[in-house]
Amino acid sequence: MKQLVLRNTLYERIYRSLGIVCLVMVIIIALTGDTNNWPFWLQTIILLLLALVFISLNFGTLVNRLTAEKGQLTIRWYTKPFRITIRIHEIDEILADENSIRIILKTGRSLRLPTGMLEFEEKRAVRKFLKETTGF
C-alpha cells in the first residue's frame, strides 16, 4: 500500500482557531447563563458539537489523502465530502496545470482535484505519486 497525506496548514489553523473560539463561547455561556432555561442547554450542546467539528478538522475531511492499494486508487480530498475509489486500469489519462489535477477515466468521467491552495512541493508530490502508482 502506498499513501500520500497532505495537510493544508492554513486551513488547519483556521479551523482549530474557530474550535477554540467555540469552546471559549461555551465557557462564557456557562458562567453567565441560567442553567434552569432550556435555551442555555441547547446553546451549550450546539457549541460543543461545533467545537468538536472544528477541532477535529471536520472529522478528518480536510486532510488530503491519496492511497493506492490492490489496483485501486482511493482519493480523499478536502473539496470532496466522501472518498472516491477508482480502479487504476480504468484511468485513461491524468492532466495537471497550476490550479488542478484532472483524472480522466475511460468512461469519459473526469475528476478534478484542486491544487491551487497547495504549496509547490505538495503539488509536485501529488503529481509524482500519481505518476508512480498509475504510470501516467
Question: How do the pLDDT tens digits run along the chain, 136 residues long?
Answer: 899 999 877 888 999 999 999 999 999 999 999 999 999 999 999 999 999 999 998 887 778 999 999 999 999 998 888 899 999 999 999 999 989 999 999 999 999 999 988 889 999 999 999 999 988 8
In this prediction, residue 62 carries a pLDDT of 77
**What is residue 24's predicted lDDT score, i.e. its pLDDT?**
97
Q: What is the pLDDT of residue 95?
A: 94
Is the dihedral angle over the CA atoms 116, 117, 121, 125 positive or is it negative?
Answer: negative
Q: Sort strands 2-7 and 63-69 into parallel, antiparallel or unpaired.
A: antiparallel
Q: Are 63 and 6 in contact (CB under 8 A)?
A: yes
Please tell me the predicted confidence (pLDDT) of residue 118.
Answer: 86
Q: What is the pTM of this model?
A: 0.73
Three cell numbers at 91?
484511468
pLDDT score for 119: 86
